[in-house]
Amino acid sequence: MIELSKDTFTRQMLEDIVAAASTSSTQSWPNRRYIVSTTQLSVLHNGFPYGIANAAGQPSMSDLLDRRFTAPDHFRHVDNMVADALLLHLSGASTTLIFHLTDKAIGLLRRLPPQPPPYSNQYWFLHLPQGVPDLSRYTNSGESESESSRRGTLPWDDLQAVTRFSTVTLKVGIIVAACEGGPVDDALQVATALRSFLLDFRTLREALGVVIETAPKSQAADVSLRDLVSDAFLYTTWTRCSQLFLHLALDAQARSGYDARWAPLLAFKCKPPGVSVPSIEDDRYDRAVDAVPGARAMLDGPRSMCKWALRLLRSDRPAGALDYRRFLARFAEQHGTKPARCLFGKDETCKGDHPTECGRFKDDRLVLGDQSVHAQGCAPGRCRKLVWDRGSYVAVRGPVAVAAEPSLDGRHVAYRPAKASTMAISHVWSHGHGGRPDTGINTCLHARFSRLARRHGCDGYWMDVMCIPDEHKLRKEAIGYINEVFAASACVLVLDRDIMDVDVSQLSMDVWERLFATVLVCDWNVRAWTMLEAVKGCRGLELLCRDERTVSLRACLDAVRQKGRVDLAILGLAVQHLLPAPPSPAGQVPGRTVEKAGSILGLRHATREGDDVVIWSLLSNRPVCFTPQDFWAGLVGTSLPTAFLVSDTARLPHAPGFSWAPATPYVRGPTTKSGAKLWPHLAYDGLGSQRAVISPAGLRGTWLAYDYRAQDDDTYRDVAFRYHEYDGSGALKTAVFEDTRVVNSCWRRAVELRKTHRHVALLLPAQEDRQSVFLISTDPDVKNGERGQLVVLCTSDNGHAWTWRGVEDWAPWLELPEMAARDLLIT
Residues 637 and 523 occupy one common structural domain: no
Exposed / middle / buried, residue 107 (Cβ in 10 Å: 0-12, 13-18, 19+) = middle
- What residue type is assigned to position 360 of the chain? R
- Kindly state whether residues 72 and 152 are assigned to the same domain: yes
Instruction: Compute the distance between CA of residue 408 and CA of residue 412 in angstroms, rounded to an integer.
Output: 8
Q: Which among 207, 242, 266 is the end of a domain? A: 266
662 with 550, same domain: the answer is: no
Note whether residue 376 is domain-resident: no
What is the Cα–Cα distance from 770 to 704, expressed in whole angstroms? 8
pLDDT confidence tier of residue 285, bands split at 50, 70 and 90: very low
Give the type of residue at 51. Answer: G
Last residue of a domain, one of 221, 251, 266: 266
Exposure b/e, 376-412, CB count within 10 A at least 16 = b? eebeeeebeebbbbeebbeeeeebbbbbbbebeeeeb
Q: How many domains does the chain have?
A: 3
What is the rounded CA–CA span in Å between residue 550 and residue 556? 11
- Dihedral over Cα of 225, 227, 228, 230: its sign: positive
Q: What kind and span of H or E run contains 426?
A: strand 422-427
Residue 803 domain flag: yes
* Interatomic CA distance for residues 299 and 125, integer angstroms: 25
Predicted confidence (pLDDT) per residue in 1-57, tens digit: 333 344 588 899 998 999 888 888 877 776 655 567 776 788 887 776 554 444 445
Phi first, then psi: give them for residue 55, nearest 5 degrees. Answer: -60, 145
Mean pLDDT of the chain: 82
343 within 8 A of 351, measured Cβ to Cβ:
no
pLDDT tens, residue by residue, 717-752: 887 776 655 444 444 566 767 677 788 999 999 999
Query: What whole-number distance in Å separates Cα of residue 139 and Cα of residue 116?
Result: 16
The CB-side HSE value for 367 (13 A sphere, CA atoms) comes to 14
- In whole angstroms, what is the distance from residue 687 CA to residue 642 CA? 9
pTM for this model (two decimals): 0.88
Quote the CA–CA distance of 761 and 718 in Å, as a whole number: 18
CB 74 within 8 A of CB 138: yes
Q: Is 72 left (phi over 0), alpha (psi -120 to 50) or beta?
A: alpha
Q: What's the pLDDT score for residue 163?
A: 92
Is 625 among the domain residues? no
Torsional class of 16: left (φ above 0), alpha (ψ -120 to 50), beta (otherwise): alpha
Closest CA to 784 of 674, 704, 677: 677
Would residue 312 count as lying in a domain?
Answer: no
- Which of 125-134, 281-290, 759-768 has the lowest average pLDDT? 281-290
Tell which of 266, 283, 313 closes a domain: 266
- pLDDT by residue (tens digit) across 348-386? 888 887 787 888 887 777 665 556 688 888 876 778 899
Residues 132 and 17 in one domain: yes
The answer on 477 and 414 residing in a single domain is yes
Confidence of residue 656 (pLDDT cuts 50, 70, 90): very high
Amino acid 281: pLDDT: 34
Across the range 635-657, mean pLDDT stands at 94
Provide the H-helix boundaries in 33-182: 61-68, 74-83, 95-110, 121-126, 147-150, 160-163, 167-179
> In Å, how far from its chain's centre is CA 168?
26
Nearest CA to 172 among 112, 261, 242? 242
Report the chain's C-alpha Rg in angstroms: 29
pLDDT top residue among 236 and 97: 236
Lowest mean pLDDT across 33-37, 66-70, 695-699, 762-766 = 66-70
The reply to whether 535 and 656 lie within a common domain is no
**What percentage of residues in the chain have a pLDDT greater than 70?**
79
508 plus 651 within the same structural domain: no
> What is the SS3 assignment for 402-420?
EECCCCCCCCECCEEECCC
Determine, yes or no, domain membership for 362: no
Query: Exposed, middle or buried, 756 (CB in 10 Å: 0-12/13-18/19+)?
Result: exposed
SS3 state at 327: helix
> Where do the DSSP E strands lie in 655-771?
691-695, 698-707, 718-726, 732-743, 759-765
Instruction: For residues 778 and 689, state if they share a domain.
Output: yes
- Is 292 domain-assigned? no
**Is 644 in contact with 685 (CB distance < 8 Å)?**
yes
* First-to-last C-alpha distance (Å) of the chain: 58
Which residues fall within 8 angstroms of residue 688, CB to CB, at 6 or more apart?
264, 267, 641, 643, 767, 768, 774
Taking the C-alpha atoms of residue 487 and residue 84, their distance in angstroms, rounded to an integer, is 48
Which segment of 216-225, 394-403, 528-537 scores lowest on mean pLDDT?
Answer: 216-225
State whether 688 and 812 are in the same domain: yes
CA distance 38 to 282: 44
Domain that holds residue 232: 11-266
Is there a single domain that holds both residue 685 and residue 537?
no
CA distance 645 to 423: 38
Domain assignment of residue 125, yes or no: yes
Concatenate the DSSP letters of all residues of 584-616 into one string. Answer: --TTPPP---HHHHHHHHTTSB-SSTTHHHHHH
Residues 256 and 390 in one domain: no
Calculate the CA 305 to chain-centre distance: 17
Residue 432 in domain: yes
Dist. CA 167–CA 36, nearest whole Å: 20
> Do 573 and 645 share a domain, yes or no?
no
